[in-house]
Amino acid sequence: MKKYLLSFLVLITLLICPSLVVSANVTTKDRLNDDAKLFSWGESSDIKDKLKELSELYDADIIVATTKDPALPEVDLEDLELGEINLEQASLKETATEEPDIDEPVVEERKPQFSKSKRVMDYAALFTKEEFKDIAKQVNALSKQYKLDIVVITTNDILGDGSYADFDASLERFHDENGYDRDSVFLGINMDPDNREVIVQAYGKSQKYIPDEVAYNITESMVSDLKAQKYAKATNTFIKRANNRLSILLEPFERKLPKIEKGDYLIDDAHILTNEQKQIYLNKLFKKNENHDIDLYVITLDEFDSYSSLSGYVDTLADENGLNDNVGILAILLGDAHREVVMAGYGEKNTRSYLTDARCQNITDSLTDDLAAAKYTDALDTYLSQAGMYVTMKELPVPLSVILTELFISAMLGVIYVCILIYNASAHSKATRHTYQEPGSAQVLARIDNYTHTTVTKTKIESSSSSGSRSHSSHGRSRVGGGGHSHGGSRHSSGRSRF
């Protein structure tokens, strides 16, 4: 029984990843090396025939080896994960000409024809065995988790015969031609001595989470390590940050924010408050929230790659936690690169009358100074009083200043009306020039219209800007520091740094 199981395993190994099959002493003529003595003579020759047939068919040596060395199967199983999807494509595309070491990455100098099964390709040989294994492990795990491909490619030239305009384009084509997932994230390290660069690309829906400026930030954060030739460390930075970004996409609350229960009014992930302060503000929020329908929340974050989607992040957060009615969330992002504060209100009634866009903007506007000066408790006090006031006071559909202006105008009209009434209380002469003018007698005796000169004035026209609004959720957003923006239209987002 055990014998058959093992043979089945080896056969599978053969079929799936022929190039990785390992033998101690294998020649091209002898493709079966049955060190473990698993097969009978008849079986052996049968297998040999089939191997020969396959090898000739694919113009590649397909080798089966069995061994009693206990370490080997573990390694096999680990690497088998690399490609468990497309057997046919894999076997067709494989062109291994020499016996590869199980731990070594495939290194090719030819124009690449990669298997989809591979997510780490170290053509520039930047990683040690252990590093390679570690990176491959992480990348595979993440790819599986997010159901997309995270790919790391290093190269000495720009992947091929120079027919590509730049590294960016060649990576894009590489992505297209090798059947990677639509939503892949690529890291490319080009070690071409003339043009050393690092690129992060995001495709499909990953773009949303790794927009251009985020990709750029990732590459920037890698540059120093790359310069110091700490390639693995740099790659790990990429993986960590890509993970951070993508985790928002799929499991936003597992990573940063635990499930928000009713009463978790203060979540201080940026650790801006001492435990004592935290308790004080939590109590204050409790007291405030007890007194009215709208619950106010405060969330602080330190790790967040995109300021541009902080409000989107807050939206998702609120949505996932069912905080979509009568809720106001203040999110303070205190990242290294981006500092931002977002105030969001949820619930139709709430956003229409209480935490409206304008009010949310007022809140963030009044907080930015304190936040920039790191006076977090002051900022929270301001938030509590201001938002606390807003949630108890319905916003007038028309601003008070406008109402007062209208009242003033109305009163003026009223005064004019009354004056006219009083004036008209007694009759006034309706006689005019025309009443007494003798018909036809009005004559112009002289008429001169002399043009003298022209004067010209120039004034600069001030352009005005407009802003849109959203329904059902209101936002105010202020940037505390850092900047940049994502642009649409591209089918992938990317950032690139030279080092």
Chain residues in the site for another protein (CB under 8 A): 397-399, 401-403, 406-407, 409-411, 413-415, 417-418, 421-422, 425-433, 435-438, 441-461
Which lies closer to another protein via its Cβ, residue 180 or residue 354?
354
Compute how many other C-beta atoms are within 10 angstroms of the C-beta atom of residue 123.
Answer: 19
CA–CA distance, 286 with 463 (Å, rounded to integer): 46
Q: How far apart are the first and last CA of the chain?
A: 57
Which lies closer to another protein via its Cβ, residue 228 or residue 413?
413
Q: How far is the CB of 434 from another protein (least distance, A)?
A: 9
Q: How far is the CB of 475 from another protein (least distance, A)?
A: 17
Orientation of helix 275-291 relative to helix 376-392, angle to 10°: 10
CA–CA distance, 353 with 357 (Å, rounded to integer): 10
Q: How far is the CB of 467 from another protein (least distance, A)?
A: 12
Q: How far is the CB of 468 from another protein (least distance, A)?
A: 13
Which lies closer to another protein via its Cβ, residue 74 or residue 449?
449
Q: DSSP code of 468? A: -
84: tokens are 């468990």
Which lies closer to another protein via its Cβ, residue 29 or residue 458?
458
Q: How far is the CB of 388 from another protein (least distance, A)?
A: 24
Which of these, 153, 150, 384, lies nearest to 265 by C-alpha position? 384
Q: How far is the CB of 396 from another protein (least distance, A)?
A: 10
CA–CA distance, 215 with 303 (Å, rounded to integer): 15
Count CA atoms within 13 Å of residue 167 on its CB side. Answer: 26
- In what order do the strands lie in the sheet containing 266-268? 266-268, 295-301, 327-334, 339-346, 473-481
Which lies closer to another protein via its Cβ, residue 45 or residue 437?
437
Q: How far is the CB of 441 from another protein (least distance, A)?
A: 4
Q: How far is the CB of 349 from another protein (least distance, A)?
A: 17
| Strand, helix or coil for residue 195 | coil
CA–CA distance, 365 with 368 (Å, rounded to integer): 6
Phi, psi (degrees; rounded to nearest 5) at 49: -60, -45
Residue 436's alpha-carbon distances to 429, 441, 443, in angstroms, are 13, 11, 15
- Beta pairing partners, 33: 65
Which lies closer to another protein via its Cβ, residue 4 or residue 436?
436
Which lies closer to another protein via its Cβ, residue 111 or residue 453?
453
Which lies closer to another protein via its Cβ, residue 5 or residue 431?
431
Phi, psi (degrees; rounded to nearest 5) at 446: -150, 145
